[in-house]
Amino acid sequence: MRAEAPRTQNEVALPAIDALAEAPFYIPSTSPSARPRRTLKHADTFAVFDSHGDMGASAGGPDGLFNHDTRFLSRLELLLGGTQPLLLGSSIRDDNVTLSVDLTNADIFEGGHIVLQRDTIHVVRTVYLWRGVAHQRIAVSNHGDDRVSFTLTLLFGNDFADIFEVRGQLRAKRGQAHDELRDGNGVSLVYRGLDGATRRSELTFEPAPTRRSTSTATYELSLATGESCSLFFTVECHGAQVPKRKGFFKGLRAANRERRSGGATTIETSNEVLNEALRRAMADLHMLTTRTGEGPYPYAGTPWFSTTFGRDGIITALQMLWLDPSLARGVLLRLADYQATTTDEVSDAQPGKILHEMRGGEMAALKEVPFGLYYGSVDSTPLFIILAGHYTERTGDVATLRRLWPAIKRALRWMDTDGDPDGDGFLEYGKKGIHSLKTGLQHQGWKDSFDAIFHADGRLAQGPIALAEVQGYAYAAKRAAAACARRLGEPDLAHELERSADALAERFDAYFWSDELDLYVLGLDGEKVPLQVRASNAGHLLWTGIARPDRARKVGEAMVSPAFFSGWGVRTVAKGEARYNPMSYHNGSVWPHDNSLIAWGLARYGLMSHAQRVFEANFAAATYMDLRRLPELYCGFRRRRGAGPTLYPVACTPQAWASGALFLMIQASLGLEFDPGAKEIRFRNPTLPIFVDQIVLRKAGFVGAEVDVALRRIAGHVSLRVLSNSGQAKVTMTFADRPS
């Protein structure tokens, strides 16, 4: 028997934890897919393919066609001559409208002899989504010397799984499924759910296949040398509110028009790799944004979070506010419409609280999961107020502010009542002595995994919990609301909110600063005991402005210290902490959105060299990523020469706030501020990252007053040149100390 090594005084043995038992909505990681995945999305429909354009050909995983949290196609596989074709290439178009896959045949044998030599048949699969329908064109051509005859077969099927089943939730009962052949060229896959809803996948083949069943469609093809043909295949998610289905080419033209209709500021730099990353990020944000009744809303990410999330939508809108304020307006109006008006323990609703998550699947309808309309977030409410304030400062849109003002006041009331149940001045969540809520999320800040909030010795914290960054959000929310109140002619309320914010800042510093850590603590537990853990949460405090300047400098030094900084970004938890694990979800990984908020805060306090290190690290990570796309998160291992970052196996990609990260870091670098009243764009202490010599902004500014500007590094300094100016916008550049 091997003797156990003696433990040091500060080392503890952490008990083994069953993640599924502690956190029923945990996303398990099983065997990785053998093929890279490709994602398309339009409105409330998204699809996850493998690199061949198939679905479900590799065991497990999130492959499929989804609409409103239900899978409408779980298997799709193309065969040539009864065998899997060979992959030549696969790519998502730069604007994310289409997936294109090039395939060819393998050697096909009959009776021990090759009857179709490899590389004879070329197949191009072109796929796009439009208004609840997946369209696919299969173009087939013969590049051989002789006429060839062969079969092309599509295998298909569906489980009508709820997204939470795909994530790993088990159900005791399911509804009834059956399949039907339709007259002519169609197949219907039908599911009658336990919620009483009938969901149908309507498959249509043009031209009609030679043979078909409820799981296969086979074409007998014969092509002369140089001859080509095209087959068309659609899957309609029946129940999606869609107009009459368009043909392949009409639908594609409509999808192209919609994707090109954006009017946001565009960015060009001297670094073409950065340009690629920015173009992909902008395309991802366009793809993830759904037009709702209230305006555009960025869904959080695919595959797990393709729906309205409060926190994610707000932070994405903040990241993109300088480029496209319409996104923030859509987020604010939608969240105001769904603001809670009553108290409900299961959904964690309380009057004035802002939505955390919205779901539309069978399990949500049956309340098998509490996420139909779910309010289990302690930070969405103050973040909502912050976004309203920033939106108004950016645009001067007082009409929208007046429309939002009742919701803002209700949110402020929640912060002072239900959000602070013991009246100690801090926002908190969770019941006394409880660290696991089986009906919802046990942790309700952005780090919401079951083991993310803990003590220095690794013990899980028990509630109610007051997170450090949430107090910063509360401070910034009160400051933002005060500015809004003053705009709307309520100076007494503005003064009261400012006094409350100042009192919170003093109390916060007394309770949350740790001389032992030389850093803000992670939070306070239910007994008001500080969680003496070095976590990236402290970095969020800088962008809110709650930190004293001397504290901010220490936070900045910590964020770029070896314990936090991996070389690919700031880790969520510092190396050396009891639960540090660079492969975990929240305890040592690197999240781009987290890093962008940290960089924004560092810039606010004038810590530009630190902010630029964070920017460079995240950009460097993007250069190694597929499609130059920053994922939701990646592992926190140290950066090694000649090697890229280590991927996290079940990270969402694309993810909205990861896509917005580089844009916020650019704003932080350039010191961009806007004064809509004076139509002034200000660059305060602008700097360019070391990997860029020039940045050009086009269509920056305000409605009716847009400019194109170029910022260039010359002899170690930044110069500014206005390239064009419509509407007489004013552009200024200043170099002075940034206020804290």
Cα–Cα dist 678/612, whole Å: 30
pLDDT tens digits for range 278-313: 999 999 999 999 999 999 999 999 999 999 999 999
pLDDT band with cut points at 50, 70 and 90 for residue 740: very low
pLDDT of residue 112: 86
User: What pLDDT digit, counting tens, does each position of 143-198 carry?
Assistant: 999 999 999 999 999 999 999 999 888 999 999 999 999 888 999 999 999 999 99
What's the pTM? Answer: 0.93
Whether residue 90 has pLDDT greater than 80: yes
9 belongs to a structural domain: no
CB 382 within 8 A of CB 470: yes
Cα radius of gyration (the chain): 27
Q: Calculate the dihedral angle through the C-alpha atoms of 205, 211, 215, 216, rounding to the nearest 10 degrees.
A: -80
Which pLDDT score is estimated for 249? Answer: 83
Contacts of 490 (CB under 8 A, 6+ apart): none
Query: What SS3 class is residue 62?
Result: coil
The gap between the terminal CA atoms of the chain, to the nearest Å, is 59
Structure tokens at 364: 């949500």
pLDDT for the residue numbered 433: 44
Q: Rounded to whole angstroms, how far apart are CA atoms 663 and 86?
A: 38
Let me know: does 650 contact 61? Beta carbons within 8 Å.
no
666 & 688 share domain: no
Asked if the model's pLDDT at residue 262 lies above 70, the reply is: no
Amino acid 716: pLDDT: 87
Q: What is d(CA 612, CA 564) in angstroms, rounded to the nearest whole number?
A: 15
Distance of alpha carbon 655 from alpha carbon 566, whole angstroms: 21
> Residue 469 pLDDT > 50, yes or no?
yes
Beginning with the edge strand found earlier in the chain, give each strand of the sheet holding 680-684 in spatial order: 672-675, 680-684, 730-734
Q: What is the pLDDT of residue 2?
A: 36
Three-class DSSP category at 449? coil
pLDDT of residue 543: 99
In the 8-state DSSP scheme, what is residue 580? -
How does residue 4 score in pLDDT terms, banded at 50, 70 and 90? very low
320 and 416 belong to one structural domain: yes
Residue 597 near residue 539 (C-beta atoms within 8 A):
yes
Helix (H, G, I), strand (E, B) or coil at 90: strand
511 occurs within a structural domain: yes
Co-location of 236 and 361 in the same domain:
no
d(CA 557, CA 607) in angstroms, rounded, equals: 9
Burial of 373 (0-12, 13-18, 19+ CB in 10 A): middle
- Say if residues 469 and 522 touch (Cβ distance below 8 Å): no
Structure tokens, 633: 């998160």
Choose the final residue of a domain: 225, 259, 293: 259
Query: Residue 108's beta-bridge partner residues?
Result: 116
The verdict on residue 739 lying in a domain is: no
Give the CA distances from residue 671 to residues 423, 540, 564, 607, 675, in Å, rounded to whole numbers and listed in that order.
38, 18, 25, 12, 13
Q: Is residue 688 part of a domain?
A: yes
Give CA–CA dist 306/594, Å, rounded.
20
Q: Check whether residue 570 and residue 619 sit in a common domain.
A: yes
Number of domains in the chain: 3
Identify whether 644 is part of a domain. yes
d(CA 291, CA 299): 10
Map residue 519 onto helix, strand or coil.
Answer: strand
| Burial of 543 per CB tally in 10 Å (0-12, 13-18, 19+) | buried
Instruction: Return the pLDDT at 623.
Output: 98
Mark which of 259, 278, 301 sits at the end of a domain. 259
Q: Mean pLDDT lowest for which of 9-13, 591-595, 700-704?
A: 9-13
| Helix ranges (DSSP H) in 488-584 | 491-512, 537-544, 549-559
In the numeric block, the tokens 């066609």 are attached to 65
* pLDDT for residue 728: 86
What is the domain-level CATH number for residue 493?
Answer: 1.50.10.10
Give the C-alpha separation, 371 to 361, whole Å: 10
Task: Using the 3D structure, point to which of 259, 274, 304 is the last residue of a domain.
Answer: 259
**Are the beta carbons of 579 and 586 closer than 8 angstroms?**
no
- Tell me which of 206 and 246 has the higher pLDDT: 206
pLDDT over threshold 70, residue 14: no
Tell me the pLDDT tens digit for each residue of 329-358.
999 999 999 999 999 999 999 999 999 999
**Which CATH number belongs to the domain containing residue 178 in this structure?**
2.70.98.40
The Cα–Cα gap between 559 and 567 comes to 11
- HEC profile for 281-332? HHHHHHHHEEEECCEEEECCECCCECCCEHHHHHHHHHHHCCCCHHHHHHHH
- The 3-class SS string of 452-514 reads CCECCCCCECCCCEEEHHHHHHHHHHHHHHHHHHHHCCCHHHHHHHHHHHHHHHHHHHHHHEE
627 DSSP 8-state letter: G
Counting residues of the chain whose pLDDT is more than 70, the rounded percentage is 91
Structural domain contains residue 15:
no
Per-residue b or e along 106-123, where b marks 16 or more CB atoms closer than 10 Å to that residue's CB: bebeeeeeeebeeebbbb
pLDDT single digits (tens) 39-86: 999 999 999 999 999 998 555 678 999 999 999 999 999 999 999 999
Q: Is the pLDDT of residue 10 over 90?
A: no
For residues 109-135, give the mean pLDDT: 93
Residues 58 and 128 in one domain: yes
Same domain, 399 and 444: yes
* Whether 688 and 666 share a structural domain: no
Does residue 30 sit in the same domain as residue 76? Answer: yes
Interacting residues of 342 by C-beta distance below 8 A, sequence separation 6+: 349, 351
Contact yes or no for 598/556 (Cβ under 8 A)? no
- Residue 732 CA to residue 681 CA, distance in Å, equals 6
User: Which DSSP category does 24 fall into?
Assistant: T
Q: Are residues 666 and 726 in the same domain?
A: no
Tell me which residue has tokens 């504290």. 551
Residue 108's SS3 state is: strand
Does a structural domain hold residue 740?
no
Quote the CA–CA distance of 382 and 352 in Å, as a whole number. 11
How many residues are listed for the chain in this entry? 740
Three-state DSSP at 237 gives strand
Q: Are residues 516 and 549 in the same domain?
A: yes
- Residues 95, 184, single domain; the answer is yes
Query: pLDDT exceeding 90 applies to what percent of the chain?
Result: 84
Q: What is the pLDDT of residue 727?
A: 83
Together in a domain, 398 and 536: yes
Mean pLDDT across the chain, nearest whole number?
A: 92
Residue 736 has pLDDT above 80, yes or no: no
CB-CB contact of 574 with 560 (8 Å): no
- pLDDT for the residue numbered 455: 98
The per-residue pLDDT for 183 is: 82
Does position 436 have pLDDT exceeding 50, yes or no? no
What value does the mean pLDDT take over residues 394-422? 98
- pLDDT computed for residue 59 by the predictor: 56
Nearest to 152 by CA among 57, 214, 249, 77: 77
Exposed / middle / buried, residue 406 (Cβ in 10 Å: 0-12, 13-18, 19+): exposed
Per-residue pLDDT, 198: 95
What pLDDT, on a 0 to 100 scale, did the predictor assign at position 110?
Answer: 85
pLDDT digits (tens, 9 = 90+) for 518-549: 999 999 999 999 999 999 999 999 999 999 99
Domain housing 244:
20-259
DSSP 38-104: EEEEETTEEEEEETTS-BSSSSSSS-EEEETTEEEE-EEEEEETTBPPEEEEEEE-TTSS-EEEEEE
Residue 258 confidence (pLDDT): 78
Angle CA 543–548–550, to nearest 5: 110
Question: Is residue 81 in some structural domain?
Answer: yes
Q: CB–CB of 378/427 below 8 Å?
A: yes
